[in-house]
Structure 1
Amino acid sequence: MCIQSWSRERAMQTEAMRVDHETLLNWPRPDVFLIPKAKRKQYVRRHRALEAYMSGSSVAGAAKHFGVNRSTLTRLVRLSIELDATGTPWGFRACLPYFHSDTGDETDNSPAATPVAARPHSFGQLIRSSQHVRELVQTFTGNLPAGRRRSAAFDRLFRQLKRELKGSEHLYPLNTRDKGRRALLEYVKRQRQRAGRASIGESTPPQPTIERLDQLFPLYPFSRAEYDGHHEDIEWFIEVPTPDGGWATRKVSELTFIPDIDAVTRFVHSWTLVLGRGYRQYDLMELFAKGMRPWKPGVLTTPDLCYVTGAGMPSSIMPDGKAPRSILHAGDNFSAHKAAYIRHNLLHVHLGVWNWAQAHIPEKRAIVEAFFHHIEHGALRGIAGGYVPPTERGAAPTPSNSLDPKHYPLNVIALLELMDVIVSAHNVTSHRGLHDRAPLTVAHEYVERGGWIWQSSLSERHAQQISCLRLSVTIRGSRKESRQPYVEWKGARYRSDALVGRFDLIGKKFEATIPFDDLRMLTLYDKNGNVFVRLPALPPWATSKHDVRVREQVIQWDRAKVLSITGVEDAIEAFHSYLRATAHSSGKSADLYARHQTALGVPSDAAMKRSHQKSEKVPREGWIGAENMEDLP
């Protein structure tokens, strides 16, 4: 009879733990999709059972109907109305399957006797038995000891607990060997874990955040541009010479397309292509220098390829023909975007505001990401080797056409002409995002209305300066050994007749500039910023034009003893000869062979003739525009 009376009393206490409908609706509700998949069904059953009980069902009825243990549901009822550390009811968070193990009887605030010995939940019983102990422990916010690291705050808490329990040495926890230190530590850990885990999966109302400039004020044409690099979804092959005098096809590792696109009108300021794996700050110098020069239609040498009527770039709509610039440029924090040389040139030459945000978040630069997607679908998937990337890890890409890329090897000149046609056609192709108007049409209307445009009469000079590297060099030499003054940089020596006999300059530092795309001339400046002297490079770097990337690669191969430039008159010609000899057997050489195909003087007639001999399938003819591209957002 005593057991039955206790059960009825316990049931009556549980039945009294109900909340009204309004309170139930305001309870915190975890987001089911943030709960581990293996635990979702268990959570849903508990949630529905608790909701049914709070809506009027009995504990036994709700537990049976939804397949939840009756004692579990009773515990959930008690826990759901308890308050967390912020004063909010646990609510439906108590139904999380991984939440129940940290509760035990510790959440029961009913008075309890001081425990005598160490048993399960004895420390929770101790907390309920003394209000002073409960306040002392639950208000502790100091650090906890971890491993060998001690915590002075926790040591003080432990001493205060022993003083509070003085006179009860025969009771728990002072009758244990460590006086309850471990039990105190574990209890505080559990309490903190409960507070931390309660927020797991909790669905909170979205808070307004400012992530883009257009959330602060409206944007106008030329006010914001976005740029980034994109690996084209095409399997590229190129023809390379073989030792027996023939030709073989080798795969090009990557081809990266880098556009600079206006975020309001969607017209493209400038673009560049990078053959080979990855791109560097020097490729961005080419991109922005190209955007500061007026655009002119190129002379197309590819058969059946021509520009769309009215095709153009932003400079085409300017009354004076000068290229405009955007006030703000947005890119991600890729290392090439923030490297030392390009960063200095963008801030001091190109000017404007530059925003380098976190990478791999398309929402930050939605326009350029959408442009990549739509230009793939509308213009590039029809090229031999085009494919659709896999959506699952380990899956193979799906070819987007039936053309074999090995039968249509890459012609770099034709590819550059094709991209110029595609980009200039995109600028005059209407789409829904601009009310069926073309990007250049919108920009032209803005110019005619007197909209503010950023232009400079020094754009040509700025285009040259943005391609220059600013250095600090030291003049070297030796009077004793009769070694005339010179400057050494990137493995090359620079010397001029103007420095003959100027041994007084040895050891002095000068500011210098050098174009990254032609390292044959180094210019030194005095303290007033005036030209002090121009130093030409000495052989083997004095004959052929070359850029930083070529020189660094030649020096790397020379140090690796795979290419020797000792005693040669022209290191660049030796570099080209090495590419011709090794492109068929080295992936690195194949990429560089493709990048320098024009400088190598590779005849493209052979590849084109072999392509036309396969009459069963030929690539589409005529100009390639952007009419089939889906509308940008």
Structure 2
Amino acid sequence: MSVAERLAIAPELRDTTLWEKPRDKDIAAEDLAEYRRRKKAVTAYLNGTSFAAIAKDHRYTKSQIYRMLERCLTVRPSGNMYGFHALIPGVSIAPYKRKSPVNPELAAQTKGLAGAFMQLMAEHEILYRYVEKHALSAGGRSATVIARAIRAEFLKKCAKVRAPNQYPFNTDDQGARALVRFIDRMREEHYSAKSGNEEESSGAFSGPLTAQPSGAQQLRPFEETEHDGHNGDFYFVIKAHGRRGEWVYTTPMRLWLLLLIDRSSRAILGYSYRLGSTNYPAISVMRSFVHALIPWEPKILTLPHLSYKEGAGFPSGIGPRARGRLIDLVCFDNAKANTAKLTMRGLTTVLGATLNYGRVRHPIARPFIERLNQSLETHGFRRLPIGFNPKGPKEDRDRALKAAVEHAITIDELDQVIDVMLANSNADPHSDLVNRSPNEYIRMWDGQTVSPLRRIEDPQEVARRLLQLEYIKTVRGGGESHRAPYVELWGARYTNDVLRKMTDSIGKKVRIVVDIDGDIRLIRAYLRRGHRELPLGILKAGPPWHLTPHTLEQRQIVRRANKVEKLVVKPGSDMLQTFKHLRQREAGERKSAANQLAKAGKISDPPFPNRERDAKDRVAKKNWIKLK
């Protein structure tokens, strides 16, 4: 039924005073003018204004008016119309429906799976009914708990209707995360439709937002901060040395830039970035806080025409009293990396900070970080040859892609560009700071205030603790193989001389402490005995993870590649070196191999024995054969 027919059958739909309306403060500032123009055009049509007059006054054609009206009259799952909410730029009112099947020839896929799970449920009603039965009768249990309970039986039912090389069996996690998201969405739609008011069920209210500051001028530096990740509007190509010293190039990539900003001074306290267009993990969030703690030093710049401004830098490196300063409050959005165990434990336990999670899809609760992201894009990254406007024409992206290929850079050069641009931002004057820069404002505040400050003497130690995780593991071993006791973690078996001799500890629990951004070949373990713990010292990883120093992120990348290709480890080498040599050999012909090398970061060579030292050790220090 067309829009005109619907309005003829139900003329009461023309009464826009009954339509749901969003609040202006809930719409992004850059989208507010466009929303108001759309609203006036639709209202004018419903009041009888001709299409010619609307085109002249509001610059919308007849087809555009009908399209906007169709969106406004679309019914929500709760039974109400979207109304003027559908006119907000960027708002999606229809769920994505996948049309093409998942390629069955690719194993352990992690990309190109948008809408695959919904497609699976739409094609097989028996799967949908099985999930629906357990999701809606689980009471207050979380979607994660429900998915974990039904996943085994769910995969058995999938095996009856899908081949082993079809979705979800050809994915990295066999649809585990998609199942959790589907249960969440199903329960949300069910209970919102049951209550009859989707806005009330989602927790809408007319009061002030929880994370909105009451007044930034009343705050002191480091008292309240905001943190957010932003997908940069620029492309770049990473170049690195291949196996024989030649240059190998990645495909054009983007990155996530994570920033920590102070509300009082508008200063960027710390940052980190994540290569690739996929979302960022918790480790990237913690790296931005580590960067804010460790005293900053300017980088050695090798790119021409790249330089720091006068007064540029980060507070930890230019303010004597800003070194080692601790943050009191951090305002986050609800990204999974921000609610992860590593983030919450590190910031609350180690730093003693309070975490404030704003409402979903309401960036106005974090105005300073959103404004900073907009300024960096408009006046920073988009002005680079490799920058582009995501809302601009396709030719703009093509130009940026071509420039990225022509101006390939190394990882070190990318670090220089990002560091200089953010450090220079801290040297720009702000009208709200009486034309002082953020760095000048912090130095002025620290020079005048006598209030006690939360500081630490050893930022390096606290930064190391921020990147630690603890696990409770069971000691394995024994049995028919009579294997010595060991602890298994992330696909590696850890042990040492002390644990090998403790055969009576098999089956008991140990507490593991891991520095996930350091060398995870070495972990610290404590054997639990009642309320006491017996230190076991440092456990070392066994083959094939024992030679090359590596982080948790590097091991995950290599394990994922091994799951797909079954890497063969040569004697005297290990998994990291096998992965590195294989990707270097393939990088010349396959750029996806160069992409994996760039994301894995620097993989150092294994330590080789010192032959001169070994020769000296083999020579006896005293004559044990008497010569006559």
Q: TM-score range by the shorter chain?
A: 0.5 to 0.7
Partner of 1:374, secondary structure, is helix
| 326-335 or 211-220, which deviates more | 211-220
| 37-46 or 381-390, which deviates more | 37-46
After superposition, the C-alpha distances for 1:61-99 in whole angstroms (9 at most, x for unaligned) are xxxxxxxxxxxxxxxxxxxxxxxxxxxxxxxxxxx9xxx
Identify which of 581, 589, 595 aligns with 1:591: 595
After superposition, the C-alpha distances for 1:399-445 in whole angstroms (9 at most, x for unaligned) are 78797221111221011022222222221221223221100111122
Partner in structure 2 of residue 224 of structure 1: 224
Partner in structure 2 of residue 576 of structure 1: 580
Partner in structure 2 of residue 439 of structure 1: 438
Q: Distance in 2 between matches of 1:416 and 1:238?
A: 12
Partner in structure 2 of residue 314 of structure 1: 315
Partner in structure 1 of residue 352 of structure 2: 351
Q: Distance in 2 between matches of 1:357 and 1:586?
A: 43
CA offset at residue 484 of structure 1?
Answer: 1.3
Partner of 1:381, secondary structure, is helix
| 1:54-133 paired onto structure 2 within 5 Å | none
Tell me how many residue pairs correspond in the alignment.
Answer: 420
Partner in structure 2 of residue 523 of structure 1: 524
Partner in structure 2 of residue 494 of structure 1: 494
Partner in structure 1 of residue 539 of structure 2: 535
Aligned partners of 1:477 and 1:486 also within 8 Å:
yes
Partner of 2:324, secondary structure, is coil
Partner of 2:47, secondary structure, is helix
| 1:414-493 paired onto structure 2 within 5 Å | 414-450=413-449, 451-478=451-478, 481-493=481-493
Inter-CA distance 600–506: structure 2 relative to 1 (3 Å threshold): closer
Partner in structure 2 of residue 257 of structure 1: 257
Partner in structure 2 of residue 44 of structure 1: 47
Aligned partners of 2:225 and 2:331 also within 8 Å:
yes
Partner in structure 2 of residue 548 of structure 1: 552
Aligned partners of 1:314 and 1:324 also within 8 Å:
no
Aligned partners of 2:210 and 2:358 also within 8 Å:
no
Q: Distance in 1 between matches of 2:48 and 2:382?
A: 49
- AA at the equivalent of 2:409: L
After superposition, the C-alpha distances for 1:434-479 in whole angstroms (9 at most, x for unaligned) are 2211001111222122245321234322211111121111111117
CA offset at residue 339 of structure 1?
Answer: 1.6
Inter-CA distance 33–356: structure 2 relative to 1 (3 Å threshold): closer
Aligned partners of 2:211 and 2:357 also within 8 Å:
no
| 398-407 or 564-573, which deviates more | 398-407
Aligned partners of 2:558 and 2:579 also within 8 Å:
yes
Inter-CA distance 242–480: structure 2 relative to 1 (3 Å threshold): closer
- AA at the equivalent of 1:297: P
CA offset at residue 223 of structure 1?
Answer: 1.4
- AA at the equivalent of 1:419: I
Aligned partners of 2:285 and 2:343 also within 8 Å:
yes
CA offset at residue 296 of structure 1?
Answer: 2.0
Structure number with greater Rg is: 1
Kindly indicate whether residue 411 of structure 2 is the aligned counterpart of residue 412 of structure 1.
Answer: yes
Partner in structure 2 of residue 362 of structure 1: 363
Partner in structure 2 of residue 297 of structure 1: 298
CA offset at residue 568 of structure 1?
Answer: 5.7
Q: Distance in 1 between matches of 2:399 and 2:375?
A: 14
Aligned partners of 2:252 and 2:401 also within 8 Å:
no
Inter-CA distance 332–567: structure 2 relative to 1 (3 Å threshold): farther
Partner of 2:384, secondary structure, is coil
Inter-CA distance 565–376: structure 2 relative to 1 (3 Å threshold): same
| 583-592 or 261-270, which deviates more | 583-592
Q: Distance in 2 between matches of 1:462 and 1:389?
A: 39
Normalising by structure 1, what TM-score?
A: 0.59
Aligned partners of 1:231 and 1:254 also within 8 Å:
yes
Q: Distance in 1 between matches of 2:546 and 2:472?
A: 21
Aligned-pair identity in percent equals: 24
Inter-CA distance 489–207: structure 2 relative to 1 (3 Å threshold): closer
Partner of 1:387, secondary structure, is coil
Partner in structure 2 of residue 512 of structure 1: 512
Kindly indicate whether residue 387 of structure 2 is the aligned counterpart of residue 386 of structure 1.
Answer: yes
Q: Distance in 2 between matches of 1:402 and 1:488?
A: 44
Aligned partners of 1:390 and 1:398 also within 8 Å:
no
CA offset at residue 36 of structure 1?
Answer: 8.7
CA offset at residue 242 of structure 1?
Answer: 8.2
Q: Distance in 2 between matches of 1:238 and 1:549?
A: 19
CA offset at residue 532 of structure 1?
Answer: 3.0
- AA at the equivalent of 2:597: Y
Normalising by structure 2, what TM-score?
A: 0.60
Q: Distance in 2 between matches of 1:297 and 1:258?
A: 19
Partner of 1:446, secondary structure, is helix
CA offset at residue 39 of structure 1?
Answer: 7.3
| 1:160-175 paired onto structure 2 within 5 Å | none
Inter-CA distance 263–400: structure 2 relative to 1 (3 Å threshold): farther
Aligned partners of 2:486 and 2:500 also within 8 Å:
no
- AA at the equivalent of 2:469: L
Structure 2, unmatched stretches of 5+, are 1-14, 23-37, 50-83, 85-195, 200-204, 606-628
Aligned partners of 2:240 and 2:410 also within 8 Å:
no
Aligned partners of 1:328 and 1:352 also within 8 Å:
yes
Aligned partners of 1:541 and 1:572 also within 8 Å:
yes
Q: Distance in 2 between matches of 1:440 and 1:529?
A: 46
CA offset at residue 359 of structure 1?
Answer: 4.3
Partner in structure 1 of residue 185 of structure 2: none
After superposition, the C-alpha distances for 1:210-259 in whole angstroms (9 at most, x for unaligned) are 44442388433211111111111112223467899965644243211111
Inter-CA distance 314–505: structure 2 relative to 1 (3 Å threshold): same
Aligned partners of 1:475 and 1:485 also within 8 Å:
yes
| 474-483 or 544-553, which deviates more | 474-483
Aligned partners of 2:495 and 2:541 also within 8 Å:
yes
- AA at the equivalent of 1:333: N
Inter-CA distance 405–563: structure 2 relative to 1 (3 Å threshold): same
Partner of 2:456, secondary structure, is coil
Partner in structure 1 of residue 81 of structure 2: none
CA offset at residue 590 of structure 1?
Answer: 3.2
Inter-CA distance 519–291: structure 2 relative to 1 (3 Å threshold): same
Aligned partners of 2:324 and 2:457 also within 8 Å:
no
Aligned partners of 2:475 and 2:506 also within 8 Å:
yes
CA offset at residue 490 of structure 1?
Answer: 0.7
After superposition, the C-alpha distances for 1:360-418 in whole angstroms (9 at most, x for unaligned) are 432121111111111122222233321111269xx664578797221111221011022
Partner in structure 1 of residue 208 of structure 2: 209
Aligned partners of 1:473 and 1:510 also within 8 Å:
yes
Say which structure, 1 or 2, has more relative contact order (CA 8 Å, 6+ apart): 1
- AA at the equivalent of 2:548: S
After superposition, the C-alpha distances for 1:517-555 in whole angstroms (9 at most, x for unaligned) are 221101012454674321011122122111112212222
Aligned partners of 2:427 and 2:438 also within 8 Å:
yes
Partner of 1:259, secondary structure, is strand
Q: Distance in 1 between matches of 2:392 and 2:543?
A: 52
Q: Distance in 1 between matches of 2:44 and 2:418?
A: 53
Q: Distance in 2 between matches of 1:254 and 1:232?
A: 6
Q: Distance in 2 between matches of 1:312 and 1:514?
A: 32
After superposition, the C-alpha distances for 1:471-493 in whole angstroms (9 at most, x for unaligned) are 11111111764321111111111
Partner of 1:338, secondary structure, is coil
Partner of 2:285, secondary structure, is helix
Q: Distance in 2 between matches of 1:368 and 1:226?
A: 6
Partner of 1:369, secondary structure, is helix
Partner in structure 1 of residue 87 of structure 2: none
